[in-house]
A and B are shown apart, each in its own frame.
Chain A
Amino acid sequence: MNTQLESLGGVTIVTPSGRLDFGAAAPFQSELEKVLAKTPAGLVIDCAGLEYVSSAGLRVFLLVSRGAKRSGIAVVICSLKPAVREVFDVSGFSQIIEICADRAAALAKMPA
């Protein structure tokens, strides 16, 4: 799995692609922690290129959304493939993490 970062105003957009499995979870987590440490106004995780998320991968989303909430950073996840979306729905994560259909919708949720 690899991860790309871009900045748009005060918002950081993280684009992971590939398989977020047990092995990829720890590097992805530290990548996102680095982003949060810079306290952007918002964080969008664009999952358009994400093929698979294991439970260890879900845990990263949980920790990041928890950490962001503590620092008052808005987090939105967008563009989930159906298989990945199903994992979020079954596990109940879509109840606690804001999910948008695409990047434009996600950016619209970001603080101005």
Chain B
Amino acid sequence: MNISVRVIAARLVGSDGPYARAFENLILALIVISVFSVILEATANLPAWATELLRIGEIVIVAVFSFEYLLRLVAAPRKIAFIFSFYGLVDLMSIAPFFLAGLDARYLRILRVLRVLRVLKLQRRVLETTVTQRTRELAELNDVLIEAQKQLRAELDVARALQIAILPSVFPAKAGCDGAARMIPATTMGGDFYDFIELPDQRIGLVMADVSGKGVPAAFFMAVARTNLRELAVHHLDPSECLACANDILCTQNPMDLFVTVFYCIFDPSNGILCYANGGHNPPFLRRAEGSIEVLNGAGGLVLGALPGTTYPSHRVQLRHADRLVLYTDGVTEAFNSAGEAYGTTRLVAEIEAHGDGAAAGLIERICRGVADFAGTAAQSDDITLTVLAWYPPSSP
């Protein structure tokens, strides 16, 4: 069978397309005319010219139906199956009486009446139209869903971008301070944040925080926590006071029962004194200029947002020339590789020990690369956030 003939046939008797629709309409009109003429012929006492007209009409109809039958046969992938299918038989029945009538005139009337069965051909059209319509509706619905998902994705991306955009991109310019920070967001929306706050007494507030959970609720709570801390920091120049106030406020603005771990410290660039309080956050590291590492693990309090009235003990540490403070979130230490192993504090400490004497931004870059190399192909499940502050007092050589 020539494939192009089959393609043309399929185009005419297929379920969709302009040619198929035109051809269907032609067949539909002929079915109606033919059934109507069968009834007319059987009931009325017609004049001779009308009978002649109906006879010619019948020849035309049978010719077209025969042509249609052949097309369907050609287009059918399995010929035998088509011939014996319901519609195949109906199609055959609608033309067979005409050809059979010539063989034996005694069956003429019965066979002619059988043409009424052509009405069954209508059913194919109804069924095919229904299937086509349902398919189209499903496709439209699917398009709507894909579009909605795309829009949601785009809106989440905007929210994520906004969330990152509100974080300060540079450390405040202070003599003797080399500060840098970086957040690498996880694929899902997380709730890490850091902040640098210029306080009225020339000191600088540093925030490192991690909101529990993920997604839009975490992002919202992050924005609320960050705004409150920034506002309160300017009025409460003691870290423990600032955290206690922030906690009480967050407890009242927390319908989803989220919480946030916050390490908050205030650094005085004029004398190197660092005051800090910890609300349930991973204790930061202090790398001394000669390479030793201290953990700022003075007793902390509960995460913020969980329990009103929580207190946060205040601690103080003296930074010396070329010391470095490293604040981080657990996205660093709990970065997992494909074997399910965590990066861990040991590797982080080793990295800080070995490479902590360069620029702040360089150390951050170094740690991020180390974490990425360790995680390999494993997906990043949590935000990775780091802040490094190095101090070079102006008066020292």
Interface of A toward B, CB cutoff 8 Å: 21-22, 25, 54-56, 58-59, 62-63, 90-93, 95-96
Whether B283 pairs with A91 at a CB distance below 8 angstroms is no
Q: Smallest distance from the beta carbon of A87 to chain B beta carbons, Å?
A: 9
Taking the nearest CB of chain A, how far is it from the CB of B212, in angstroms? 4
The closest CB in chain B to the CB of A58 belongs to: B212
Residues of A contacting B211 in the complex (Cβ-Cβ under 8 angstroms) = 55
Contacts of A63 in B (CB 8 A): 257
Tell whether, in the assembled complex, residue A92 and residue B303 are in contact, meaning their CB atoms are under 8 Å apart: yes
Count A-B pairs with CB separation below 8 Å: 54
B385 → chain A, closest Cβ, in Å? 13
Assess A96 versus B306: contact at CB under 8 Å? Given A90-B281, A90-B282, A90-B300. yes
Judging by beta carbons under 8 Å apart, are B283 and A62 in contact?
no
Asked if A22 and B214 make an inter-chain contact with CB atoms under 8 angstroms apart, the answer reads yes
Would you call B291 an interface residue if the criterion is a C-beta within 8 Å of the partner chain's C-beta atoms? Answer: no
* Interface status of B332 (Cβ within 8 A of chain A): no
Q: What are 19 inter-chain pairs, A to B, with CB distance below 8 A?
A: A22-B213, A55-B212, A55-B213, A55-B259, A55-B330, A56-B212, A58-B259, A59-B212, A59-B257, A62-B257, A62-B259, A90-B261, A90-B280, A90-B282, A91-B261, A92-B280, A92-B303, A95-B301, A96-B306
Contacts of A25 in B (CB 8 A): 213
A55: nearest residue on chain B (CB-CB)?
B212
Interface of B is mostly: loop
Write out the residue numbers on chain B whose beta carbons fall within 8 Å of the beta carbon of A92.
279-280, 300-303, 310
Known: A63-B257, A92-B279, A92-B310. 10 other contacts (CB 8 A): A22-B214, A22-B381, A55-B211, A56-B214, A58-B259, A59-B212, A62-B306, A90-B283, A91-B261, A92-B301
Complex: chain A residue closest to B336, CB-CB: A52
* A interface footprint on B190-213 (CB within 8 Å = 1, 0 otherwise): 000000000000000000001111
State the interface size on chain B (CB cutoff 8 A).
Answer: 25
Closest to A93 in B: B302
Main secondary structure of the interface of A (DSSP, over half): helix
In angstroms, Cα B282 to Cα A92, docked, is 11
In the complex, B258 has a CB within 8 A of chain A = yes
| Complex alpha-carbon distance, A22 and B334, angstroms | 13
Q: How far is the CA of A36 from the CA of B213 in the complex (A)?
A: 23
Name the residue on B nearest A88 (C-beta). B280
Quote the shortest CB–CB distance from B133 to chain A (angstroms). 40
Distance between Cα atoms of A58 and B212 in the complex (Å): 8
Whole-angstrom CA separation of A87 from B238 in the bound complex: 26
- B231-262 residues with Cβ-Cβ distance < 8 A to A are 257-259, 261
Contact with A along B282-293 (1 / 0, CB 8 A): 110000000000
**CB proximity of B334 to chain A, nearest CB, Å:** 8
Q: How far is the CB of A60 from chain B (nearest CB, A)?
A: 10
Residue of A58, A63, A91, A95 with most partner-chain B CB within 10 A: A91
A22 and B172 CA atoms in complex are apart in Å by 35
How far, in whole Å, are A22 and B188 apart by their CA atoms in the complex? Answer: 11
Contact of A91 among B213, B302, B381, B382 (CB under 8 A): B302
Does chain A have a CB within 8 A of B307?
A: yes
What CA separation (Å) do A21 and B379 show in the bound complex?
A: 14
CA of A70 to CA of B248, assembled, Å: 20
Verify A56–B213 contact, CB threshold 8 A.
yes
> What's the Cα separation between A25 and B218 when bound, in Å?
14
CB distance from B75 to the nearest CB of A (A): 51
| Docked complex Cα distance between A90 and B210 (Å) | 13
> When chains A and B are docked, how far (Å) is the Cα of A82 from the Cα of B199?
39
Contact yes or no, B213 A59, CB < 8 A = yes
A-side contacts of B282, CB under 8 Å = 90
Give Cα A68–Cα B279 distance, bound, in whole angstroms: 24
